[in-house]
Amino acid sequence: MSSTLMEVRNLKKHFPSPAGPVKAVDGINLKIEQGKSFGLVGESGCGKSTLIRVMLKLLEPTEGEIIFQGQDITKYGFREMRSLRKEMGMVFQDPHLALNPKMTVFDIISRPLKIHGLARKKGELMVQVVELMQAMGLQTEHMIRFPHELSGGQKQRIGVARAMAVEPKIIFLDEPTSALDVSVQTKILKLLEQARRERDLTFFYISHDINLIRVVADIMGVMYLGKIVEMGPKALLLKDPHHPYTRGLFAAVPEPDPDIIISEIQLTGEVPSPVNPPPGCNFNPRCPHVMDRCRKEEPEFKELSDGRSVACHLY
């Protein structure tokens, strides 16, 4: 049985700019199931990081609703969010910037435990830090080290251990391995997956890298210019992508994968500006199947009978 942990409805984030509002997030609908990995893929600038900042209430939404564990948190202020922060962890893209260079590994991982009053005595903190470091495959001797003494991969493991320390319900991972070598990436993704299963965690990954998302995701979303164009169980999307943008994105995967049916669609042209997205379907200027209707009418994000949702007039 799966249950919805988090849901966003018609979520928008528009940033003011001299040229008009930047529609970074422009009407997102999604559901995150408890205990699953949701992977959202989309090209640079499509609004992924903005979406998670709004979901975490680090940015105020322009419109829409954010529901977490059945509670509507859209209007929650700083104080109401404080008690919820513990439930929502975050792992950042760049481990070099994410860790305070003046703190030891022990201080970094134990800090959230202290802040949230989950452990105070040094002995208690020590037990938990050791357990978290072991879960992320780190040698516990490293707890007295400073970030600059560690490799990028080790730093990112510390970032994950810190995010897991307070036993959140969900962890948001923004390009968690893109700063790392491929071999290190694979190891970290395995550790993450193992920790997720053991701790019954829910992950929300975002990345421009389809190779990462297709490895980690149970449920996959494809984002284009502030909107999700297709979403559903990963196996379904990989086997038979429907939206022309999804098909183009998958066709650009460098190494052939027997799970992916190479489609005829090649993505050409530039992504339009989020200040002036095209009317109708915002993919229409790049779409090989464009019809008259696509230039006028925005397609509805429809759930199909196979369990996926797609926003395209062809379906």
Ligand X SMILES: Nc1ncnc2c1ncn2[C@@H]1O[C@H](COP(=O)(O)OP(=O)(O)OP(=O)(O)O)[C@@H](O)[C@H]1O
Burial (Cβ within 10 Å: 0-12, 13-18, ≥19) of residue 6: buried
Q: Which stretch binds Mg ion (CB under 5 A): 48-56, 57-65, 142-150, 283-291?
A: 48-56
Provide the minimum distance between the beta carbon of 172 and Mg ion in the complex, in angstroms, as a whole number: 11
Q: How many residues bind to ligand X according to rule CB under 6 A?
A: 14
Q: Closest Cα to residue 315, out of 247, 235, 214?
A: 247
Residue 47 is a binding residue for ligand X (CB under 6 A): yes
Provide the minimum distance between the beta carbon of 177 and ligand X in the complex, in angstroms, as a whole number: 14
Provide the minimum distance between the beta carbon of 22 and ligand X in the complex, in angstroms, as a whole number: 4
Q: Report phi then psi at 220, rounded to 5.
A: -120, 140
- CA distance linking residue 275 with residue 22, whole number of Å: 4
Nearer to ligand X by Cβ, of 126 and 267: the residue is 267
Provide the minimum distance between the beta carbon of 212 and Mg ion in the complex, in angstroms, as a whole number: 13
- CA distance linking residue 81 with residue 83, whole number of Å: 6
Residue 313 is a binding residue for ligand X (CB under 6 A): no
Strands (E) in 92-218, as ranges, are 170-174, 202-207
Provide the minimum distance between the beta carbon of 120 and ligand X in the complex, in angstroms, as a whole number: 37
Find the binding residues for ligand X in span 205-244 (CB under 6 A): 208
- CA distance linking residue 310 with residue 231, whole number of Å: 7
Q: Closest Cα to residue 68, out of 202, 212, 250, 222?
A: 202
Residue 49 is a binding residue for Mg ion (CB under 5 A): yes
Residue 15 is a binding residue for ligand X (CB under 6 A): yes
Provide the minimum distance between the beta carbon of 3 and ligand X in the complex, in angstroms, as a whole number: 28
The pair of three-digit structure tokens given for residue 139, joined into one six-digit string = 């040698």
- CA distance linking residue 36 with residue 273, whole number of Å: 33
Q: Which does 315 bind (CB under 5 to 8 A by kind): Mg ion, ligand X, none?
A: none
Beta strands 227-233 and 22-33 are unpaired
Residue 21 is a binding residue for ligand X (CB under 6 A): no
Nearer to Mg ion by Cβ, of 106 and 203: the residue is 203
Q: Which does 24 bind (CB under 5 to 8 A by kind): Mg ion, ligand X, none?
A: ligand X
Write out the residues near Mg ion by the rule CB under 5 A. Answer: 49
